[in-house]
Amino acid sequence: MNILSAIIVFENLHEVRRLCHWGPIIALTVIAVCSSMAILDSIIWYWPLDTTGGSINFIMLINWTVLILYNYFNAMFVGPGYIPLGWKPENQQDTMYLQFCRVCQGYKAPRSHHCRKCNRCVMKMDHHCPWINNCCGHLNHAYFTTFLLLAPLGCTHAAFIFIMTMYTQLYDRISFGWSSVKIDMSAARRIHHPIMPFSVASFAATLFALGLALGTTIAVGMLFFIQIKVIMRNKTSIEVWIEEKAKDRIQYYQTGEEFIFPYDLGSRWENFKQVFTWSGTPEGDGIEWPVNEKCHQHTLTIEQLKQKADKRVRSVQYRVVENYNGACCPLRKGFNTFLRTPCTEEPRIQLSKGETIFATRGTKWWMYGDKVLDEEQTKAAVRVRGWFPRRCVEKCLYDSANNTSASEEKKDK
């Protein structure tokens, strides 16, 4: 028991509730189906344990399962690391370079972002992963990426077992007419009486597991390549986006600044060593980061503040002209609004006539923005932000210089 609790560190027992979510339930079911089917197929039909190869194969299958689950549970339960609630930088002066999180009532340390699902500011947040029902960030980046590497490898091994089991078992019964194809059939030719015949049910189960294994190999393998790129460049998916917006902003205002991404240490190996260490714990405390010599601790946060200010200037004010109940696919807002609902988990917000909204982005039929709230709500740190149908709002004439809306009725509408 001691060994088990040493392997999986349950820092807080309440973290176990993370398992009660469709992501972990599906992921663990896939792991259970693929590994148990591979083990059963091997020891009953394809590669029994009484051979050396069969024993090695069995040990390898067990190994994959243990390693995959070890990294999976660590990614989930160690978590990304959260910025302490109410966090302030040591030097009071530095607060001017940082954004403030109203939910956590603290400053956002460099590279951290507030995750709405975790409801905390997450260290070096990359994304919130529904499959581990947790964020991928500073502390679990190595576990997460190792899991993404091992799962496709284990599934490829399992897929090989499934294909060979079906092939060798069916070979005896059906004439494929491809006897010229040279496949090593030594396993099938070996005289061996399985304790159980390869029934239609076994065939169906093996075929189903093969589908899962191949699907996992492709889908998770792609995620692995994304994450290894993130690590080699030391630039999270969110930071890629911030850097892109920085270039956009500089080009738009022609300021002549040069934005250098601060956390890329110049060599892939150096970047890799920040995340993967022998101890399993990544370098750093998740708050202060080693930076490129041309940059300083707040290079990125200052850029984020500039982008935030710029977004405020460039966002457009809208007035609600039609009530909306917040439905994902509203039936009474037109055919296109119904069909072209944005494919995201981001919330929809209810609208009632007369309200005002700051929109920051949109599609042809939908818009995304912040509701302008009364003073009391603003003080209480309420924030109503999400998608709504474009036809429910109308643009206000907006004077960005003094931040008031001229809100004149458009008479031609």
Can you tell me the distance from the alpha carbon of 26 to that of 32, in angstroms, rounded to the nearest whole number? 10
Q: Do residues 245 and 307 lie in contact, with contact meaning Cβ atoms separated by under 8 Å?
A: yes
- Hey, what amino acid is at 182? K
Can you tell me the distance from the alpha carbon of 327 to that of 336, in angstroms, rounded to the nearest whole number? 14
Element (H, E) at 359: strand 356-362
Q: Do residues 131 and 63 lie in contact, with contact meaning Cβ atoms separated by under 8 Å?
A: no
Residues 5-44 that bind Zn ion (CB under 5 A): none
Stretch that binds Zn ion, among 98-106, 236-244, 350-358, 374-382 (CB under 5 A): 98-106
Size of the site for Zn ion (CB under 5 A): 10
| Interacting residue with Zn ion among 128, 249, 319, 390 (CB under 5 A) | 128
Closer CB to Zn ion, 117 or 340, in the complex: 117
| Interacting residue with Zn ion among 21, 88, 117, 273 (CB under 5 A) | 117
Check if 129 is active-site. Answer: yes
Closer CB to Zn ion, 130 or 284, in the complex: 130
Closer CB to Zn ion, 75 or 155, in the complex: 75
Burial of 4 (C-beta count, 10 Å sphere; 0-12/13-18/19+): exposed
Closer CB to Zn ion, 84 or 266, in the complex: 84
| Backbone phi and psi for residue 280, each to the nearest 5 degrees, phi listed first | 90, -20
Closer CB to Zn ion, 273 or 385, in the complex: 385
Element (H, E) at 167: helix 141-171
Considering the rule CB under 5 A, would residue 118 count as an interface residue with Zn ion?
yes
3-state secondary structure of 129: strand
Between the CA of residue 10 and those of 15, 75, 81, 82, 314, what are the distances in Å? 7, 12, 14, 16, 46
| Interacting residue with Zn ion among 40, 69, 75, 135 (CB under 5 A) | 135
Residues 272-301 that bind Zn ion (CB under 5 A): none
Can you tell me the distance from the alpha carbon of 282 to that of 130, in angstroms, rounded to the nearest whole number? 23
- As measured in angstroms, the least distance from the Cβ of 114 to Zn ion is 3
Burial of 395 (C-beta count, 10 Å sphere; 0-12/13-18/19+): exposed
| Interacting residue with Zn ion among 43, 68, 115, 151 (CB under 5 A) | 115
Stretch that binds Zn ion, among 103-111, 172-180, 252-260, 325-333 (CB under 5 A): 103-111
Considering the rule CB under 5 A, would residue 114 count as an interface residue with Zn ion?
yes
- As measured in angstroms, the least distance from the Cβ of 18 to Zn ion is 10
Considering the rule CB under 5 A, would residue 127 count as an interface residue with Zn ion?
no
Considering the rule CB under 5 A, would residue 103 count as an interface residue with Zn ion?
yes
Residues that bind Zn ion (CB under 5 A): 101, 103-104, 114-115, 117-118, 121, 128, 135
